[in-house]
Structure 1
Amino acid sequence: MTTLRLSTVALMLAATAAPAFAQDADSCTTVRMSNPGWTDITATNGVAQTLLQALGYQAEISTLSVPVGYEALKNGQTDLFLGNWMPAQQKFRDDLDAAGGIEELVQNLEGAKFTLAVNKPGDEAGVSDFADLDARKGAFEGKIFGIEPGAPANQSIQAMIDADDFGLGDWTLVESGEQAMLAQVGRNASAGTPTVFLAWAPHPMNEAIDITYLSGGDEQFGPDYGGATVHTLARSEWVQNCPNAAKLFSQLVFDIPMENQLMGMILNDGTDPADAASAWLAQNPQVLDDWLAGVTTTQGDPAKEAVLAAIGG
C-alpha cells in the first residue's frame, strides 16, 4: 500500500526552545482546514479551533466535499485535513502521493469502523450479512442510504451495485447529508421499516440507534467491519513554514469515547463545536500535557497555561 511519508520537520523541532514567533511565518496565524460535513471532523476541527485560538492563531474552516477538499489541499487552498479515513480514501492518498507536497503528521484515531448496517427492524427481518439483503429487497424497498454525493463510501456502495455484488445490482443508492440520512433511519426505525445504511464509529448514532453492523463486506469496505484509522494530512510547505502549529497537529490525537461525547454534544444538544470542545477540555485537561508538549503561543508563552485560561480551567 502506497503511503505518504511521515512528517519529520515538525518532529525534529521537538527539542527546539525558540519561541513560536521566531519559528512560524506571519502567514501561519491563519490555519486553513476543511470539513466534509461529517460530525466527527466537525468535532475534531472544533478541538483544533479551540486550541489554535487560545494560542493566538485563527482557524479558517471551509465546508468542502471529500473530492473537493483533497483538491484544495493539493492545490494549496487549505493547509490541513484531519479526516483522512484509511483505507476508504486510499485513492485520494495515492493521488496526493503522486502529486507530492503533502505529509502525514499523525494517525489521529484508531478503532474506527465504516460499513453498511441495518436498524432494529432490519435486524429483526433477519439481516446480519451483506448476503442476506437481496432476499429481503421488498422489505428494504431496494434502497441503501448513503451520505453526501462524492463521498468515497458512496462510491464503494455504487460500485457494489454496478457489479451486482450480493445480487444488489437492481438496488438504488440514496445519497444525502449525514444528518438527513440518520434522521431518515430514525424515522424508519420508529415506523418499523427495515433500513440498510452507511454507519460508522465514532458517532453518537451508535448510542441513539439500535444498529447491527453487517458482516461479509470485507472486499467492499475492508475487514473488521470496515475497520479504519484516521490521519492528519498537511502541506509540506506549511509544515516547514509553521513548525509550532505543525507540532501541535503532530501531537493532536483522539479516541472513540472522546469523539462520541463531542459529537453527541454537537448533534444532540446543538452545541457549537468550539464550545463543545472547550467544555470537554475543561473536564479533561490532562490531555493537554501530550497535545501541547513543546508548543507555545504565537508570542512564545507556554501553551498549556494559555489554553487553560481560555477554557476557564
Structure 2
Amino acid sequence: MRLVQMTSLAALLAGAALPASADDAASCETVRYSGPGWTDIAATNGVAAVLFEALGYTPDIATLSVPVGYEALKNGQTDMFLGNWLPAQQKFRDDLDANGGIEELVQNLEGAKFTLAVNKPGAEAGVADFADLDAHKDAFDGKIYGIEPGAPANQSIQAMIEADDFGLGDWTLVESGEQAMLAQVGRNESAGTPSVFLAWAPHPMNEAIDITYLSGGDAQFGPDFGGATVHTLARREWVESCPNAARLLRQLTFDVPMENALMGDILNDGMDPAEAASAWIAEHPERLEAWLDGVTTLDGKPGIEAVKEVVQQ
C-alpha cells in the first residue's frame, strides 16, 4: 500500500513538473493576417508579430487592400485582422457578420478619428468645414487627396462627389497610397498651396503637418470628426482551434500615444514595424502583464517570460 502511495505521489510530482500545453493545434503555428499598407496597422501588426514569434508562432503578414483583405478573412485565406475601423468599414463588417464565420475578439483602440482635413494654407484660406471647400475650389485645384484605390474612405469621398454634396460634384478624388498622399500634401505645404486630404489619428502626420480637421462631414465619416474605434476580428474556426493565440489577441489592446510613437519610428526613422515594436515593448515591459495573462508559448511554457527574454536581448 505504501509503495502504491509513493508511486502515485511520484507520478503527480512528475506531472506537475511538465509544462502546460498551449492547447493549440499544430496547424496554429503559422498565424496568417493582413494589413492594407497603412502605417497604423503595420505598427499593430508588428507588435503582434513580435509577441507571436517570441511565443513560438510564425506570423505570416500579407499586404492586401481593404476589400481584398476582408475577402481573404471571409474565405479562410487569413486567420485574423487587427484593423477593422468602425464606422468607416461598417459595410465590410456587416458582410462578415452576415457570413457568420467571423467573430470580434476585442476593441483594440478607442479615441481614433478619420475624416477630411486641410493643411495650414487651406485653413488660412478660411476652410474649416466641408461646406467651405467649394468656394475655394481654384486654390485647391479641385482635388481631394485620398489613400489607396478601393479604400472605404475613398468610396465615401467619391460618393460625396457623385452626389454633389457641398457643391463638390466637379471636384476630383486623387487616389494613391498613404505615403504618396502625405508626400503630396507635404510638397503643397512647402509651396504654400492649400490641400484637402484624408487625415486620421493615431498618426505622426498630426505632429508633422499643421492639420485642421473639417467639421460638417458627419454624414460621410461620422460625428466627432469621424470618431472611430478599431477592432480585432478572427475566423471562428481558427479561434476554436487556436485558443492560446486567440487569448493573446483578446488581450492585445493599444492606445493613441503608443501608436503615434510606433508610427513615428516607422515613418520618420525608417524602422521595420517589428523592430519598432520590439524596441517599444522593451521600454514598456509593464504592458506585457495584461497582454500575456494566461498565455503560454506554443510548447506550453510561460508566455511572459519568453517574450521578455526576446525583447530584452
Interval containing the TM-score (normalised by the shorter chain): over 0.9
Q: Give the Cα separation in 1 of the matches to 2:81 and 2:110.
A: 16
Any residues of structure 2 matched to 1:28-107 within 5 Å, and which?
28-107=28-107
Coordinate RMSD, CA, aligned: 1.0
1:185-196 correspondence to structure 2 within 5 Å: 185-196=185-196
Counterpart in 1 of 2:146? 146
CA deviation vs aligned residue, 1:159-187 (integer Å, no higher than 9, x gap): 00000000000000000000000000011
Larger radius of gyration: 2
Unaligned runs of 5+ in 1: 1-17
Deviation at 1:98, TM superposition (A): 1.2
1:1-313 mapped onto 2 (5 Å cutoff): 21=21, 23-312=23-312
Percent identical = 79
- 8 Å CA contact 2:107–2:230 kept in 1: the answer is yes
In structure 2, the gaps of 5 or more residues are: 1-17
CA distance in structure 1 between the aligned counterparts of 2:19 and 2:178, rounded to whole angstroms: 41
CA 1:162 to 1:279, structure 2 compared with 1: closer, same or farther past 3 Å? same
Distance in 2, matches of 1:302 and 1:185, equals 47
User: Number of residue pairs matched?
Assistant: 296
Question: Any runs of at least 4 consecutive aligned residues in structure 1 with deviations exceeding 2 A, and if so which?
Answer: 18-22
- For 1:62, the aligned partner's letter is A
Question: 1:119, 1:210 within 8 Å by CA — same for their partners in 2?
Answer: yes
Maintained 8 Å contact 2:22/2:297? no
- 8 A contact 1:20–1:297 mirrored in 2: no
Asked if the contact 1:20/1:298 (under 8 Å) is kept, the reply is no
CA separation in 2, counterparts of 1:208 and 1:290? 32
1:219/1:99 CA distance change after superposition, 3 Å: same
Q: Distance in 2 between matches of 1:186 and 1:266?
A: 18
Q: Say if 1:201 and 1:256, in contact at 8 Å, map to a contact too.
A: yes
Distance, in Å, in 1 between the alignment partners of 2:22 and 2:144 is 53
> 2:303 and 2:231 mapped to 1: Cα distance?
23
Could you tell me the TM-score, scaled by structure 1's length? 0.93
Aligned mates of 1:145, 1:152 — CA distance in 2: 14
Q: Distance in 2 between matches of 1:21 and 1:157?
A: 50
- Counterpart amino acid of 2:54? A
Q: Secondary structure at the match of 1:44?
A: helix
